[in-house]
Amino acid sequence: MQRRLLAEFIGTFWLVFGGCGSAVLAAAFPKLGIGFVGVSFAFGLTVLTMAYAVGHISGGHFNPAVTLGLWSAGRCANKHVLPYIIVQLAGGILASAFLWVIASGKPDWVPGGFAANGYGALSPGGYSMGACFIAELLLTFFFLIIIIGTTSKGAAAGFAGIPIGLALTLIHLISIPITNTSVNPARSTAPALFAGGAYIDQLWLFWLAPIAGAMIAGVVGRMLYEQTEITETIVIEKLQPAF
């Protein structure tokens, strides 16, 4: 169990540090900024790289919504749900702390939203609460369908990390203008704690919508895909390289 929790901690740390770090440090850098397309790929690459680095240990959730969605699908043991969520939050918060220390080392740095998520006035495109809720619910639903499908019996063994990483990239390409993209309560909570104020007040949406979407996907996944015994992971063999 300790190895699994350490893997989830490291994986979530990398997701928040790499994804949010690309937004805070590189997205708006004068002339050389990577923009929201670069941030989208950064988030996808964090999941892709950690899926192969530690996914075979813990299942590579790195996201409370993924953990609960897989539990809903019968893919995650009851005893792992709460411990996974706790270490995911801890990993994300520590990553944001390191990111704050690094970013504040630039004399003229202004934290702004610190890559936090928001709706209404805090939405990058000014989208309403309802629009943001629907977007987060739908995108997390499809993210979980992709995760469940690519790790199910009959899927190509050893390649699940690639479509999962690309799916997260696509999700960000769609929704950065809407909510700054969550689909992950740990990713939302960590920077919001440092951005403070209204970002913390709006965190409820970035817990409720992703978890609802993920758990609906879990139920649908039970109907779509052949059931397997709980492996206490995402089905480990699907994340191991085929070569």
Query: Mean pLDDT across the stretch 160-183?
Result: 97
With a cut of 80, say whether residue 31 has pLDDT above it.
no
232 has pLDDT over 50: no
Question: For residue 152, what pLDDT is reported?
Answer: 87
Highest mean pLDDT among 10-24, 148-162, 219-233: 10-24
Residue 203 half-sphere exposure toward CB, CA atoms < 13 A? 17
Between CA 216 and CA 88 the distance in angstroms is 21
What CATH class is the domain 2-238? mainly alpha
Q: Which of 63, 47, 70, 77 is nearest to 160 (CA)?
A: 47
Contacts of 97 (CB under 8 A, 6+ apart): 194
Q: How far apart are CA 33 and CA 35, in angstroms?
A: 6
Is pLDDT of 237 > 70?
no
Q: Count of alpha carbons within 13 Å of 12, Cβ hemisphere only? A: 35
DSSP state of 22: I
- Please determine, for residue 238, whether its predicted confidence score (pLDDT) is greater than 80: no
pLDDT in tens, 197-218: 999 999 999 999 999 999 999 9
Asked if the model's pLDDT at residue 233 lies above 50, the reply is no
The candidate with the shortest Cα–Cα distance to 182, out of 92, 111, 112, is 92
| pTM value surpassing 0.75 | yes
pLDDT of residue 228: 56
Q: What is each CA distance from 114 to 11, 68, 97, 110, in whole angstroms?
A: 20, 27, 11, 9
User: Residue 109: what pLDDT?
Assistant: 84
Query: Whole-angstrom Cα distance, residue 80 to residue 136?
Result: 24
pLDDT, mean over the chain: 91
* Cβ 222 vs Cβ 74: under 8 Å: yes
Task: Tell whether the model's pLDDT for residue 28 goes beyond 90.
Answer: no
For 112, how many CA atoms within 13 A lie in the half-sphere containing its CB?
A: 17
Residue type, 130: G
User: Could you tell me what percent of the chain has a pLDDT over 90?
Assistant: 81
Residue 158 CB: number of other CB atoms within 10 A?
15
**Residue 227: per-residue pLDDT:** 66
- pLDDT, tens digit (0-9, with 9 covering 90-100), for 109-153: 888 899 999 999 999 999 999 999 999 999 999 999 999 999 988
Ranges of each domain in the chain: 2-238
Residue with tokens 């309802």: 130
For 2-20, what is each residue's pLDDT tens digit? 999 999 999 999 999 999 9
**pLDDT tens digits for range 40-62:** 999 999 999 999 999 999 999 99
Tokens of 212: 């609802």
The burial class, CB within 10 Å (0-12 / 13-18 / 19+), for 242 is: exposed
User: Confidence class of residue 27 from pLDDT cuts 50, 70 and 90?
Assistant: confident
